[in-house]
Chain A
Amino acid sequence: MGNSSSMLTQYDIEEVQQHCNNAFSQQEIVSLYKRFCQLDRNGGGFVSAEEFLSVPEFAVNPLSQRVLRMVDGLNFKEFVAFLSAFGPRATLQQKIEFIFKVYDSDGNGKVTFNDMLDVLHDLTGQFISEKQRKQVLTQVLEEAGYTKESLLVLSDFVKILGSSGLKMEVEVPVD
């Protein structure tokens, strides 16, 4: 494929498959590897933030910075594991866990009012004032039985998001 690394051996593929709990088929892993090498332009074995942001479709996404924090500097095995929440066999639990991680930026297992406010800010930009955002968030939180001071944990997220089917699948193009 031009510059970087060697081809994936069967052993490598199986190792990656194990690491991501069979989220992807072997063919999909090979495709993901081609993609990984394509993104990793300087061949350093990981894709840097700059290299991700050079994909315009990714750079225009409102949550690009948050996703970048989670995926920056991962090697290929971890990259596939990261994407496993978007695989065809991902469980609802896995998807909700992923969403939780996006909110829980400091990784302490608790999502605060401010965490949710920050994400809402990313999603709405300058088109809602900070005051309005706080108002909206407080209102829907209280209607759901929480308060401004509530610290949401994963099980809360499962309760809130679990009822609706989450559509979070990405198709890996296989040549």
Chain B
Amino acid sequence: MSSSEGKLKPSSSELDLDRPNIEDYLPSGASIHEPHGKLRLRDLLDISPILTEAAGAIVDDSFTRCFKSNPPEPWNWNVYLFPLWCSGVVFRYLILFPVRAIVLTIGWMIFLSCFIPVHFLLKGNDSLRKKWERVLVELICSFFVASWTGVVKYHGPRPSMRPKQVFVANHTSMIDFIILEQMTAFAVIMQKHPGWVGLLQSTILESVGCIWFNRSEAKDREIVTKKLREHSQGADNNPLLIFPEGTCVNNQYSVMFKKGAFELGCTVCPVAIKYNKIFVDAFWNSRKQSFTMHLLQLMTSWAVVCDVWYLEPQNLRPGETAIEFAERVRDIISVRAGLKKVPWDGYLKYSRPSPKHRERKQQSFAESVLRRLEEK
């Protein structure tokens, strides 16, 4: 159930967004030492700065770093540590895991036995039905969190149900949604997944007002923006939760926020989520693992420990563009959760960067050549 790794192709409609200047973040070889003096053959042939940038990107780059999962360090197997680790494994797989699986199954049985009747019998009485479904979704999420022995510390005031407000959070795994959902039934906007997750999406999550999109469809964006706007205006809709990064990042970096959530004319309430790596690496690397495997991995770890901060709601400042607003909120969340910011669009996982960046470099080099040609 990993996301499709299709051919990489430049999708200009998706990525032709104006964005803050990447050059501010990237190591710029050619543009730092502004060369002066008459243009000589040596200056044209000396491509070393640009080659160094290319080699630098091959050796290490800030984008790939965002999606690196951290494998657990191998221990020093001693006489006493190895058996201890082994007994830990035995305990986790043979005792903890079955107990958790049972808890989860019980949770599902309770949930389904309440949800199905409520959903069908209260069809006429919408507001009562919604209220019950909300409570039940929060319940099943609590069961999920319990099945990983989730220890979640919530900081900040609980979100309230008000119209014209959206919540944005950094994204590490689909469990982000479950952790937030157990406290408040949000309506989330998510990529439509295949398999059992998709089934859950189209049945249960539909009831809390979730919105689906398909990353690979550019046209989809307009439809989705419209749906977002409609939802956020509705007074008794569940509060909208958006992950503006658009993809899962490894909880140490944050990629650029998409501006969609910030141009709805609503108050934006930032939420920061930070997982404690000592217990488990909660990053869901969708290229390496299906969601099922990811959940199983969580259920056989000791615990999922994380902090959730509900931060001060922000509004668009006069004279601020949606992109600047998005960057400002990203800054607030990154500082709180201790994430390093990188200037890349998360969707570059699935497609190539727009040619605009290369053209900018070409333009500055061309201008420098022409300028120096004139000099004596």
Which positions in A face B, CB cutoff 8 Å?
1-3, 32, 35, 38-39, 41, 50, 52-64, 67, 71, 83, 86, 95, 98-99, 102-103, 116, 119-120, 123-128, 132, 136-137, 139-141, 143-144, 146, 157, 160-161, 163-164, 166-173
Using A50-B8, A59-B352, A136-B39 as known contacts, say yes or no to A168 and B362 having CB atoms under 8 A apart: no
Give the complex CA separation of A52 and B287 in angstroms. 17
Give the complex CA separation of A1 and B73 in angstroms. 10
Give the complex CA separation of A160 and B47 in angstroms. 13
- A146 cross-chain contacts in B, Cβ below 8 A: 41
Whether A56 and B61, one on each chain, are in contact in the complex, defined by CB atoms closer than 8 angstroms, is yes
Which positions in B face A, CB cutoff 8 Å?
7-8, 26, 39-64, 68-69, 71, 285, 287-288, 344, 348-349, 352-353, 357-359, 361-363, 365-367, 369-370, 373
Q: Chain A residue with minimal CB distance to B53?
A: A61
Using A55-B63, A55-B64 as known contacts, say yes or no to A64 and B54 having CB atoms under 8 A apart: yes
Q: Chain A residue with minimal CB distance to B49?
A: A167
Whether A123 and B365, one on each chain, are in contact in the complex, defined by CB atoms closer than 8 angstroms, is yes
Using A124-B365, A161-B46 as known contacts, say yes or no to A99 and B358 having CB atoms under 8 A apart: no
Question: Contact check: which of A59, A64, A157, A173 meets B45 at CB < 8 Å?
Answer: A157
Using A55-B57, A160-B45 as known contacts, say yes or no to A127 and B362 having CB atoms under 8 A apart: yes
- A61 cross-chain contacts in B, Cβ below 8 A: 50, 53-54, 57, 358, 361
CB distance from B181 to the nearest CB of A (A): 29
Give the complex CA separation of A102 and B49 in angstroms. 13
- A126 cross-chain contacts in B, Cβ below 8 A: 359, 362
CB distance from B59 to the nearest CB of A (A): 5
Question: Contact check: which of A41, A103, A125, A136 meets B287 at CB < 8 Å?
Answer: A41
- B369 cross-chain contacts in A, Cβ below 8 A: 124, 128, 136
Whether A86 and B353, one on each chain, are in contact in the complex, defined by CB atoms closer than 8 angstroms, is no
Question: Contact check: which of B56, B63, B71, B370 meets A128 at CB < 8 Å?
Answer: B370
Whether A141 and B46, one on each chain, are in contact in the complex, defined by CB atoms closer than 8 angstroms, is no
Give the complex CA separation of A39 and B366 in angstroms. 32
- A50 cross-chain contacts in B, Cβ below 8 A: 7-8
Give the complex CA separation of A71 and B369 in angstroms. 29
Beyond the given pairs A83-B58, A168-B55, 9 more chain A to chain B contacts, judged by CB atoms under 8 angstroms and listed by A's residue number, are A2-B69, A54-B352, A99-B46, A127-B367, A140-B43, A144-B42, A166-B46, A170-B55, A171-B56
Give the complex CA separation of A140 and B63 in angstroms. 39
- B61 cross-chain contacts in A, Cβ below 8 A: 55-58
- A161 cross-chain contacts in B, Cβ below 8 A: 42, 45-46
Whether A62 and B42, one on each chain, are in contact in the complex, defined by CB atoms closer than 8 angstroms, is no
Whether A164 and B47, one on each chain, are in contact in the complex, defined by CB atoms closer than 8 angstroms, is no
Whether A56 and B63, one on each chain, are in contact in the complex, defined by CB atoms closer than 8 angstroms, is yes
Nearest first, the 10 closest Cβ-Cβ pairs linking A and B are A125-B362, A127-B366, A57-B57, A58-B57, A124-B366, A60-B357, A144-B41, A57-B61, A168-B48, A140-B41
- B42 cross-chain contacts in A, Cβ below 8 A: 144, 160-161, 163-164
CB distance from B355 to the nearest CB of A (A): 8
Whether B57 and A172, one on each chain, are in contact in the complex, defined by CB atoms closer than 8 angstroms, is no
Q: Chain B residue with minimal CB distance to A135?
A: B373
Give the complex CA separation of A3 and B5 in angstroms. 16
- B26 cross-chain contacts in A, Cβ below 8 A: 57
Whether A169 and B63, one on each chain, are in contact in the complex, defined by CB atoms closer than 8 angstroms, is no
Whether A2 and B365, one on each chain, are in contact in the complex, defined by CB atoms closer than 8 angstroms, is no
Q: Chain A residue with minimal CB distance to B63?
A: A56
Give the complex CA separation of A160 and B69 in angstroms. 46
- B7 cross-chain contacts in A, Cβ below 8 A: 50
Give the complex CA separation of A95 and B47 in angstroms. 11
Whether A102 and B47, one on each chain, are in contact in the complex, defined by CB atoms closer than 8 angstroms, is yes
